[in-house]
A and B are shown apart, each in its own frame.
Chain A
Amino acid sequence: MEITSSVRKPLVTGGKTIHDVTEDVCSRVEGKPTISWMLALATSLGVLTIGAYAIWMTLWNGIGMWGNNKTVGWAWDITNFVWWVGIGHAGTLISAVLLLFRQKWRTSINRAAEAMTIFAVICAAIFPILHTGRPWLALYWMFPLPNTFGSLWINFHSPLVWDVFAISTYFSVSLVFWYIGLVPDFATIRDRASGAISKVVYGALSLGWTGSAKAWERYETVSLILAGLATPLVLSVHTIVSFDFATSVIPGWHTTIFPPYFVAGAIFSGFAMVLTLMLITRRVYKLEDYITINHIELMNIIIIVTGSIVGVAYLTELFMAWYSGVEYEQYAFLNRATGPYAWAYWTMMTCNVISPQLFWFKKIRTSIVATFILSIVVNIGMWFERFVIIVTSLHRDYLPSSWVMFVPTIYDVGVYLFTFGLFFTLFFLFAKFFPVINMAEVKAILRSSSEKWTKKDPVATQNVVNPAPKEA
């Protein structure tokens, strides 16, 4: 008996059988790397190397190499940190929140999105660690370890300490969630492996998984509870990141709307990055049957929703600045829109508020080219959002004599480039050696959501017979 819907579009097209899923995903892992893949990896490694020089110079000479000054103490580094953390959010959202909401369309994209989360959080972590100035001591300063001043501890009243706990918990829980999901698929690759190296490597990675009914039962329980734990975690992480600003008394930062506004912005930019990556991956790996236009459209709808929330948040900030009657607050927002960084503010407004509204048109949200361009536009916009919040709020102090402009140095650019190189290097390695699509989960939804089964293909259903048992 099939339970099919005539309303919902199939999630897997092309009449795939269960075995086809294994073949389609494993063949990318088993095959020799293609020239284009090697070129892509080499490019990212090149960018990473150039960026590594900037990191080296920063470590050797100190963060004076950056454009930060006494007034703008948090500049590109914290902008990039918040931006990368935000990008990470979509992965956990897809795997956890959509799992709790029983959204089956997450299955084709969750693996790559979670990988993106983990790599983005690694990139994010680089910035605050470098910003401590002496990263080799950072571990010692950030975690509750008694230090050389006696029993003086880290300050648990500080949002920066909350941030350390939030980001490190987020990273480790996401990593575990991702890995547990990978185990059954590693077992599939292990059981098909012919080479000695791949047998050993995937044998170790699959942890001895056999797919026994007992293990699946527990696996499903674990996934569900991890999703239940990760959902509030996603919300808490960006909320806590926003506390870095919101608990201060800087005009433009000291607002109660920050937590929800940051979370919405994070999901917004995260989905944009998932789209950027998935559009490339599906093209290169020919996964159009798994990541369909339907998937892209659904993600674009999430972008409309979160983009609109972000837009409303910007307007609320402006309203609250006026309504509060605080002259400093009013100045901060007037300065954002008309001051020396107005170009950044209006770039942010255009990219984040106006451009995602184009997705209301079905033609645009189902177009690959338009989605790809807009996904990059959104990411640029979200970077400017963080830049605007941080730099425009800081560059006008209470004391006009300390008013300055922030100009990034080539080392600021270099460190940012390094994280791009790192992110794409990790992603390309992942795409080659790990199954990019969660095979087990896609197989599990095939029966109810694939084109083949919903069309009642006689070949697919011929085995569904229920013979009466004969007494032996």
Chain B
Amino acid sequence: MMKKKNYLIGVFNDENVLLSAIKHVREAGVKIHECYTPYPVHGLGHALGYKRSRLPIAAFMFGITGTSLALLMQYYMMGADWPMIIGGKDYTALPTFFPVTFELTVLLSAFGMVLTFLVASDLRPYGKAKVFDLRATDDKHIMAIDLGKNKNEISVIKKILQDSGAAEVNEKNM
């Protein structure tokens, strides 16, 4: 059982208000735990100071693995283990290996990247969703602030949130 923490939840009606609020809150020296939105909001990660995702690198590495595996497999099977001439082609006619190599590159790249994404984002079947506000998957934008990690007083943070356009500010212990 994880220890419960106190959070302050700012509920916003509009993505632009949320984006400007993030700026104000961060300028005031308050650490934001995380923001939750019903759809991808462009510039949100940047506003929160997140680094660019390294998933493209993962996809590329998995893709390269697929290419090499496919070529190795075909060269070994057709060239070394049981060489046969079929249709007058050489044992290891590279052009005929292209389709399978391409498909395996795509397959490993896609699967590897998606698995990396799921692991990195802690998404799994029956994964417990830490939902601060049920409306975050409907139409509200949520900003959660971990009170334990902020030195400012609750009332001060509350005020900052309200002044920067939050429709509601709630306290939550979870």
A interface vs B, CB < 8 Å? 1, 17-19, 22, 144, 150-159, 161-162, 165-166, 169, 172-173, 176-177, 180, 183-184, 187-188, 190-192, 203-222, 225-226, 229-230, 232-233, 236, 240, 243, 439-441, 443-444, 447, 463-467, 469-470, 472
Contact = CB atoms under 8 A, between A and B. Distances in A.
A49 to B, nearest CB: 32
Contacts of A177: 110
Given A188-B38, A216-B37, A226-B114, A208 B128 contact: yes
Contact of B34 (A203, A212, A441): A212
Most buried by B among A158, A191, A225, A443: A225
Interface in B101-115: 102-104, 106-107, 109-111, 113-114
A393 B152 CA distance: 80
A30 B110 CA distance: 32
B139 interface: yes
Given A157-B96, A236-B99, A217 B53 contact: yes
B69 to A, nearest CB: 11
A22 B134 CA distance: 13
Interface string B45-65: 100101001011001000000
Contact of A155 (B53, B86, B126): B86
A204 to B, nearest CB: 5
B106 A18 contact: no
B174 interface: no
Contacts of A226: 110, 113-114
Contacts of B121: 214-215, 218-219
A213 B59 contact: no
Contacts of A187: 129, 137
Given A169-B106, A191-B138, A236-B102, 7 more contacts: A153-B81, A210-B136, A219-B117, A439-B39, A447-B15, A469-B164, A472-B159
A432 B74 CA distance: 44
Contacts of A229: 59, 106, 109-110
Interface in B60-96: 73-74, 77-78, 81-82, 84, 86-87, 89, 93, 96
B20 interface: yes
A467 B164 contact: yes
B120 to A, nearest CB: 6
Given A19-B139, A221-B53, A213 B38 contact: no
Do most interface residues of chain A lie in helix, strand or loop, or is the interface mixed? helix
Given A150-B82, A161-B100, A207 B127 contact: yes
B34 A217 contact: no
Contact of A213 (B34, B103, B138): B34
A358 to B, nearest CB: 37
A463 B53 contact: no
Contact of A232 (B16, B89, B106, B127): B106
B111 A225 contact: no
Contacts of B128: 208
B39 A465 contact: no
A262 B121 CA distance: 39
B25 to A, nearest CB: 9
Contacts of A212: 34-36
A153 B35 contact: no
A18 B38 contact: yes
A208 B50 contact: no
A172 B152 CA distance: 50
Contacts of A469: 24, 27-28, 160, 163-164
B125 interface: yes
B3 interface: no
Given A162-B99, A219-B117, A469-B160, A440 B123 contact: no
Contacts of B35: 212-213
A232 B103 CA distance: 10
Contacts of B4: none
A255 to B, nearest CB: 18
B59 A210 contact: no
A208 B106 CA distance: 27
A222 B87 contact: no
B39 A441 contact: yes
B39 A444 contact: yes
Given A169-B106, A225-B59, A158 B86 contact: yes
Contact of A22 (B24, B89, B109, B139): B139
Nearest to B53: A221
